Amino acid sequence: MGFTTAWKGLSPAKLNIAIQTFALISIFFEGYDQGVMGGVNASPNYVTEVNIGTADGTVTNTTKQGGIVSIYYLGAIVGCFVGGWAADRIGRINGLFFAAMFALVGGALQAATQSADFILVARVVTGLGTGALTGITPVLVSEVSSAEHRGGFLGYVFIANYLGISVAYWLDFGLSFVNNGYSAVRWRFLLAFQCLPALLLLAGIKMLPDSPRYLASVGRNEEAREVLEHVRGNYGPAVEQEFNEIVAMAEDTKPASPIEFIKIILGLDKTKGAHLGRRAWLCIWLQIMASWTGITAVTAYSPVLLRQAGYSEIKQNGLAGGLNTIGIIGTIISAQIVDRYGRRKCLMWGAAGLFAVNLIAASLYEASRADPSKAASIAPAAVTMLFLFNLIYASTWGTVAFLIPTEIFPSRMRAQGNGFGITGWAIGVGWTVLVNPIMFENIQSRTYFLFAGLNFIWIGIVYLVYPETANRSLESIEAMFTTSPFYWQMEKAYAENKDLFITKAEMEGGLEKQKQFEYSSHDELPQIRKQICKIKQYGPHTSIRGFGDWYAGEPVDDFTGDLAFLVYGGVFGGEEDHADELEGGGDVGGLEAEEVVFQSAR
């Protein structure tokens, strides 16, 4: 047994733990790199090295400081698309391996920074690796998780995001005591430390199996079956149904080309699913909205906010570390509620909570500005609001904003589709970290009034246009994108087309709900063709299945590529006489099926 097949020697429980562990390491890198610049910017030696301020650490060029921080996200935008493009061709595991190589090189270059130009290049390289890691990892987790646990598993993975941010802040807190914080070790060690998770990924990621959905998309169905059976721990009826669904949806898929991203954004590409442009913009704006909740101000500039609250430098650094550590607790809460209450409720409740916290924090800071003598007594309440902010954000938006983009794209382009979400994340975070120092320099803590207003707006936007994906299979979510962009219309479309999809109850119900129709000649082929035309209206959700063998996605006469799932009685408008027209026998357009099985969710 070789290194790349070492996973076969693991029990299902250990294999799932291994997948989760390396996913945690990948997201830890992203979190650490997101939080590390807060400590780096606070180092006086760094400030003079890149020429953005004075020897005492005072930053005089906030635009240049923000540019160094935000250019990293430009690399992340490119990295997420290139990484997704590669992952749909060479696999999720290979994609993560090459992403870790860029992350390692970028981290080493940042630690060796000699000038502002030097670190600008280094941060772009690191951003390429981070974008790919952050784009591929949630897709891998989503594709190996069951529908009822998908949100929770991804929530636990994103614990590593806050863990990485927290480690960055606590490391800076400890290093700030070296030579009173003036040592070059303070910021160079911080930047070099990110090489550790990249090395761990390079050393172990190749021992994991690839996603069964990726394997099926490239025709490696037996490997897909083996991996799925191993991660589920059995091959009972439910797992068999899941495998058949995966294979059916993967039939006749082709990886998207880079030019298709532009076509999708412009709403011009309809070949791989309905309303792809709408899905892309939902992902992009969800992450931009998440960034403008105020999270980047709390994460990257918390020492500045704590200084405005009147705390000493040591207390600033210590509280900043604690502020981000509380996010770990929030992410654990998210893992418990995101599947139970749904994605939409988490987003709307989260935005409402963040609106209230931002409003209270802004009012407290304003009171402190109006009467500086009360600053010391107001400071604890203001800091409490910052802690509550991180707790609420981590338990809602912090996970869901990364989860939805992994769920709403067809399997044939899921890794690349998730790139739209990471693009939104990179644009949002890059945008806010660029303007945050400018806003806090000019309007100071009144910036929180802006964040409060934006969170109030986000509640309405989520209510109107974001779908509910909790406890629905990745394939069945397609039904919601066959209608208008409003939530209630998507739910109506899903309810009307639910007969097209497998539910958990059906998987457990076995064959007792099936109606079987036999045919023995080509005489009925015109009628079959007529019905397939009706099937085509529903997009890639239906197919003909031979009893005992699966022919999902196989060409039926000249309807190549339009069949992808089970043919349900409800497909024909619920009219029994339509189904009767298929009775006969033989094969269908060369498809040697003994019988066609119709299955109804009713």
CA distance 161 to 169: 13
Report pLDDT for 524. Answer: 39
**509 & 456 share domain:** no
Domain tally, the chain? 2
CATH number assigned to the domain comprising residue 69 = 1.20.1250.20
Of 365, 328, 407, the closest CA to residue 166 belongs to 328
Q: Is residue 481 situated within a structural domain? A: no
Neighbouring C-beta atoms of residue 265, cutoff 10 Å: 16
CA distance 349 to 367: 27
pLDDT band at 595 (very low <50, low <70, confident <90, very high): very low
Report pLDDT for 251. Answer: 67
CA distance 195 to 201: 10
DSSP state of 310: T
**Is residue 2 packed enough to be buried (19+ CB in 10 Å), middle (13-18) or exposed (0-12)?**
exposed
pLDDT band at 238 (very low <50, low <70, confident <90, very high): confident
Q: Is residue 3 situated within a structural domain? A: no
Token pair 């020897």 is found at 55
Q: Is residue 477 situated within a structural domain? A: no
Range in 8-22, 280-294, 482-496, 558-572 the model is least confident about: 558-572
Report pLDDT for 414. Answer: 74
**518 & 455 share domain:** no
**441 & 561 share domain:** no
Section 567-596 average pLDDT: 34
Q: Kindly tell me if the per-residue pLDDT of 160 is higher than 50.
A: yes
Range in 132-146, 276-290, 322-336, 550-564 the model is least confident about: 550-564
Question: 9: Cβ–Cβ under 8 A, 6 or more apart, which residues?
Answer: 1
pLDDT band at 533 (very low <50, low <70, confident <90, very high): very low
**520 & 442 share domain:** no
- Residue pair 356/313 in contact (Cβ under 8 Å)? The answer is no
Q: Kindly tell me if the per-residue pLDDT of 264 is higher than 70.
A: yes
**456 & 532 share domain:** no
**518 & 400 share domain:** no
Q: Kindly tell me if the per-residue pLDDT of 572 is higher than 60.
A: no
Range in 109-123, 204-218, 556-570 the model is least confident about: 556-570
Report pLDDT for 518. Answer: 33
Q: What values do phi and psi take at 42, rounded to 5? A: -85, -5
Q: How far is CA 327 from the centre of its chain?
A: 18
Q: Is residue 483 situated within a structural domain? A: no
Section 244-258 average pLDDT: 67
Q: Kindly tell me if the per-residue pLDDT of 522 is higher than 50.
A: no
Q: Is residue 222 situated within a structural domain? A: no
DSSP state of 517: E
Of 43, 32, 127, 69, the closest CA to residue 297 belongs to 69
Section 170-182 average pLDDT: 87
Q: Kindly tell me if the per-residue pLDDT of 579 is higher than 80.
A: no
CA distance 492 to 507: 23
**401 & 547 share domain:** no
**80 & 127 share domain:** yes
In DSSP terms, which residues pair with 549 in a beta bridge?
546
**184 & 78 share domain:** yes
> 276-280, 294-298, 459-463: which has the highest mean pLDDT?
459-463
Neighbouring C-beta atoms of residue 602, cutoff 10 Å: 9
Query: pLDDT for 450-464, tens place per residue?
Result: 999 999 999 999 999
Domain boundary among 435, 465, 495: 465
**450 & 517 share domain:** no
Q: Kindly tell me if the per-residue pLDDT of 578 is higher than 90.
A: no
CA distance 396 to 341: 11
Return the exposure string of 418-447: e unless at least 16 CB atoms fall within 10 Å of the residue's CB, then b.
bbbbbbbbbbbbbbbbbbbbebbeeeebeb
Report pLDDT for 521. Answer: 35
Percent over 70 (pLDDT), the chain: 76
Query: pLDDT for 60-111, tens place per residue?
Result: 887 888 888 888 888 988 898 888 888 888 999 999 999 999 999 999 999 9
Q: Kindly tell me if the per-residue pLDDT of 287 is higher than 50.
A: yes
Q: Is residue 221 situated within a structural domain? A: no
Report pLDDT for 121. Answer: 94
Higher pLDDT, 561 or 204: 204
Q: Is residue 275 situated within a structural domain? A: yes
CA distance 466 to 459: 11
Q: Is the pTM of this model over 0.75?
A: no
- Residue pair 358/448 in contact (Cβ under 8 Å)? The answer is yes
Query: pLDDT for 337-356, tens place per residue?
Result: 988 899 999 999 999 999 99
Q: Kindly tell me if the per-residue pLDDT of 314 is higher than 90.
A: no
**150 & 28 share domain:** yes
**59 & 173 share domain:** yes
Average pLDDT, the chain: 76
Section 419-431 average pLDDT: 84
Query: pLDDT for 362-376, tens place per residue?
Result: 888 788 777 877 777
Report pLDDT for 571. Answer: 33
- Residue pair 297/432 in contact (Cβ under 8 Å)? The answer is yes
pLDDT band at 485 (very low <50, low <70, confident <90, very high): confident
Query: pLDDT for 502-517, tens place per residue?
Result: 433 343 333 333 333 3
Of 274, 140, 309, the closest CA to residue 215 belongs to 140
pLDDT band at 24 (very low <50, low <70, confident <90, very high): very high
- Domain range for 523 is 504-599
Q: Is residue 479 situated within a structural domain? A: no
